[in-house]
């Protein structure tokens, strides 16, 4: 248990790194409204990373490009707010004056951009966390679908990178994207060589796919948040410059501003999941391939803010997409040792109802370095009845499929935990993998491949890549067909009978009394049902507190990952930074599970939760290992459908009372009619 990390005095290196991070706070050069932003905070990027690039200008006489300048490093191509934009980030020796230049690849002349290529200045720049270089963000806009483009970044002073090329996706046709779990470059310490492993997996995936629109990394891009050498290794593969990428912020990324400097994310909201003075953060969204992608910073414990972000973005942009995908780092339905961490439990309680009410189709996460596909899950976090985790899944509104992706570099893996009730298909071969997601109007198809060591073909041929990449799972997600409406004649008959009943009720004046009687009956039912639900929630809350107190072991805050290793020692930037964001506030206060001891403490935790759930008759997990008691108890109470109906003893008095009211009303009407007849 590495609890000594929490008490370690501030070293000279830590102090220097802290000073560096403070000095390196981003200095926005220009911040304009983000593309597609509306009135809500969820769609207004609060930093220049999410700002729309200036309208491109055509250069009349650009300076001669010093292609391949060594003064420009770590260029990375990224997604924009939608398919018409692409964002870029790079590091430079000089401050200011940075720009991106681009044109259709068909206009290249001898491999060089034309003199009248489009250009856009940086939207954000500043001193990098290493105090040696400067970060730069820029955007290419007004891109056409189905077009090959060429671009380069740099400045008059530093020169320019070599010309790179990329392709935009189709307009509403069939597309695909690639998903990767935890590259975590640097975690292997050179054995295994995780930088080579990441390059191998990414290269194999790019060759296997059919012109992927972008690559999607689910967090922990590097092992130590402020380690610039690890970022250089992560960004070294050629695919990071030719295929746009989107990243999710992991617990190993959060404790330095280096993440925000290296990745120019669109539509960032620092009001939701935002970072701190020296930490990265922010929830963001984009639309690509006709899919709305939502990304939340799961290091932030503010679940209400994440829910608000998702609700607002889906409300404003959901009708622009054919599918909705949510990404965050900490998997809530993994089958490895992180499943019982307190921060994961908190997410597991909060995410399913938000996913259900926004009809999120697919959730993708990493963190646990194992592959798992759930059954279709409902808004209470329970497997949907009839879902068998087969090759095809047909979803109703409010049902969601969750994928946990394993390490894409092979840097490390976690032990398999069997018997968890959400496990549809789990693969734990300790081999790097990636997932290929194909998108059409009718389906999302997720195919997962393992890439054994030495698996990437030298020449990048697709057929060879598919031969060495071993498929381990394949699922096609479709929407259930809408039920046909009832025949018109039946509907008319129903309407007629309803009108007749209403007329009868009005004639004897008993309509209001009948409603009142029904309401009284419902009221009588309510307190009993509410008491039972309330008791369930209260019992669950006590169990959660006891569970948190018993969890005991606490080095979670120092790296958030708590894997029991010396991850944070590589960079002083990494230690303690996560605590500052509050990402494991609950874990730090209560003593969260440590990965190094995660199997033992997690098992004890699961056993405690199960015994409590079984005693109350609300066991959420048929497989027996069970989820934490807070999920099962709250879900059962909140659903209401599983609770026995009560208040049956009031039925006879209520019926008699309703009858008496109806009879009294009838007599009153008759009396008035007679009295009126006498007066006339």
Which CATH number covers residue 265? 3.60.21.10
Residue 153: alpha-carbon gap to chain centroid:
30
Tell if the pTM clears 0.85, that is, is over it. Answer: no
Q: Are residues 334 and 454 in the same domain?
A: yes
Domain extent, residue 600, equals: 511-553+593-680
Q: Are residues 309 and 185 in the same domain?
A: yes
Cα angle: 345, vertex 349, 351; to 5 degrees: 110
Q: DSSP class of residue 6?
A: G
Q: Are residues 390 and 526 in the same domain?
A: no
Chosen domain end from 479, 494, 519: 479
Q: Are residues 282 and 194 in the same domain?
A: yes
Distances (CA, A) of 114 to 10, 102, 105, 119: 53, 9, 10, 11
Q: Are residues 462 and 519 in the same domain?
A: no
492 within domain boundaries: no
Residues in the chain: 680
Chosen domain end from 479, 496, 526: 479
Chosen domain end from 432, 457, 479: 479
Q: Which helix (H) or strand (E) holds 439?
A: strand 433-439
Q: Are residues 383 and 516 in the same domain?
A: no
519 within domain boundaries: yes
Note the pLDDT of residue 455. Answer: 52
Angle between helices 511-551 and 651-679 (to 10 degrees): 150
98 and 153 in contact (C-beta within 8 Å)? yes
Q: Are residues 341 and 433 in the same domain?
A: yes
User: Per the omega criterion (within 30 degrees of 0), is the bond before 192 cis?
Assistant: yes
Run means of pLDDT, 10 residues per run, the chain, 680 residues: 36 43 42 39 41 44 58 98 97 96 98 97 97 98 97 97 94 90 94 93 95 97 98 98 98 98 98 95 97 98 98 98 98 98 98 99 99 98 96 97 98 97 97 98 97 63 63 97 63 44 41 38 38 36 37 38 42 39 39 39 38 37 43 37 36 46 49 42
Note the pLDDT of residue 417. Answer: 98
Judged by DSSP in three states, 120 sits in: strand
Within 8 A by CB and 6+ apart from 211, the residues are 167, 169, 176
493-516 b/e (C-beta count within 10 Å ≥ 16 → b): eeeeeeeeeeeebeeeebbebeee
CA distance 44 to 113: 34
498 within domain boundaries: no
Q: Are residues 474 and 542 in the same domain?
A: no
Q: Are residues 265 and 123 in the same domain?
A: yes
Q: Are residues 228 and 110 in the same domain?
A: yes
634 within domain boundaries: yes
CA distance 131 to 154: 19
Note the pLDDT of residue 621. Answer: 41
Sign of CA dihedral 578, 579, 580, 585: positive
581 and 30 in contact (C-beta within 8 Å)? no
Neighbours of 165 (CB within 10 A): 13
For the chain, how many structural domains are there in total?
Answer: 2
Q: Are residues 238 and 362 in the same domain?
A: yes
465 within domain boundaries: yes
505 within domain boundaries: no
Q: Are residues 164 and 74 in the same domain?
A: yes
639 within domain boundaries: yes
């Amino acid at each position: 248990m590495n609890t000594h990390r929490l008490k370690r005095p501030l070293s000279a290196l830590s102090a220097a790194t802290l000073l560096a991070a403070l000095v390196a706070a981003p200095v926005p050069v220009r911040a304009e409204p983000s593309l597609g932003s509306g009135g809500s905070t969820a769609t207004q990027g609060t930093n220049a990373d999410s700002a729309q690039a200036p309208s491109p200008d055509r250069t009349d006489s650009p300076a001669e490009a010093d292609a391949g300048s060594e003064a420009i490093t770590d260029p990375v191509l990224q997604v924009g707010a939608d398919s018409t934009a692409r964002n870029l980030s790079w590091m430079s020796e000089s401050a200011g004056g940075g720009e991106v230049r681009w044109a259709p690849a068909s206009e290249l002349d001898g491999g060089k951009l034309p003199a009248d290529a489009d250009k856009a200045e940086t939207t954000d720049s500043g001193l990098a966390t290493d105090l040696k270089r400067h970060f730069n963000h820029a955007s290419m806009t007004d891109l056409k679908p189905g077009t090959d483009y060429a671009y380069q970044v740099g400045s008059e002073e530093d020169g320019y990178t070599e010309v790179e090329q990329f392709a935009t996706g189709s307009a509403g046709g069939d597309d695909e994207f690639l998903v990767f779990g935890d590259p975590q470059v640097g975690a292997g310490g050179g054995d295994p060589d995780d930088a080579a492993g990441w390059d191998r997996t990414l290269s194999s995936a790019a060759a296997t796919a059919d012109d992927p629109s972008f690559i999607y990394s689910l967090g922990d891009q590097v092992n130590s948040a402020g380690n610039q050498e690890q970022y250089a290794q992560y960004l070294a593969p050629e695919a990071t410059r030719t295929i746009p990428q989107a990243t999710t912020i992991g617990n190993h990324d959060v404790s330095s501003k280096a993440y925000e400097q290296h990745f120019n994310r669109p539509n960032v909201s620092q009001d939701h999941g935002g970072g701190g003075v020296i930490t990265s953060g922010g929830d963001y969204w984009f639309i690509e391939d006709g899919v709305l992608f939502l990304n939340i910073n799961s290091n932030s414990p503010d679940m209400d803010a994440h829910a608000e972000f998702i609700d607002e973005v889906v409300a404003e942009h959901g009708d622009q997409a054919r599918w909705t995908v949510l990404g965050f780092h900490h998997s809530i339905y993994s089958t490895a040792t992180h499943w019982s961490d307190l921060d994961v439990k908190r997410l597991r309680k909060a995410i399913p109802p938000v996913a259900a009410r926004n009809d999120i189709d697919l959730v993708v996460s990493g963190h646990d370095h194992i592959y798992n596909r759930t059954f279709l899950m409902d808004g209470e976090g329970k497997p949907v009845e009839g879902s068998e985790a087969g090759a095809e899944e047909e979803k109703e509104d409010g049902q969601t499929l969750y994928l946990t992706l394993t390490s894409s570099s092979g840097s490390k893996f976690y032990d398999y935990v069997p018997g968890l009730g959400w496990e549809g298909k789990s693969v734990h071969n300790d081999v790097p993998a990636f997932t290929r997601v194909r998108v059409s109007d009718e389906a999302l198809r997720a195919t997962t491949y393992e890439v054994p060591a030495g698996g990437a073909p030298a020449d990048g041929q697709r057929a060879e890549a598919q031969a060495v990449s071993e498929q381990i799972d394949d699922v096609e997600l479709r929407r259930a067909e809408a039920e046909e409406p009832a025949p018109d004649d039946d509907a008319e008959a129903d309407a007629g009978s309803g009108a007749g009943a209403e007329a009868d009720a009005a004639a004897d004046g008993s309509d209001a009394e009948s409603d009142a009687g029904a309401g009284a009956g419902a009221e009588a039912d309510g307190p009993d049902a509410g008491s039972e639900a309330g008791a369930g929630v209260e019992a669950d809350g006590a169990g959660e507190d006891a569970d948190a107190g018993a969890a005991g072991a606490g080095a979670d805050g120092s790296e958030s990952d708590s894997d029991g290793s010396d991850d944070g020692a590589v960079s002083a930037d990494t230690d303690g930074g996560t605590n500052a964001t509050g990402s494991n506030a609950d874990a730090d206060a209560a003593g969260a599970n440590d990965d190094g001891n995660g199997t033992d403490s997690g098992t004890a935790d699961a056993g405690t939760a199960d015994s409590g759930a079984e005693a109350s008759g609300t066991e959420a997990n048929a497989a027996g290992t069970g989820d934490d008691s807070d999920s099962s108890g709250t879900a059962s109470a909140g659903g209401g459908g599983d609770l026995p109906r009560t208040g049956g003893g009031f039925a006879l008095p209520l019926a008699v009372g309703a009858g008496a009211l109806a009879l009294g009303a009838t007599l009153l009407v008759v009396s008035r009619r007679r009295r009126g007849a006498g007066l006339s």
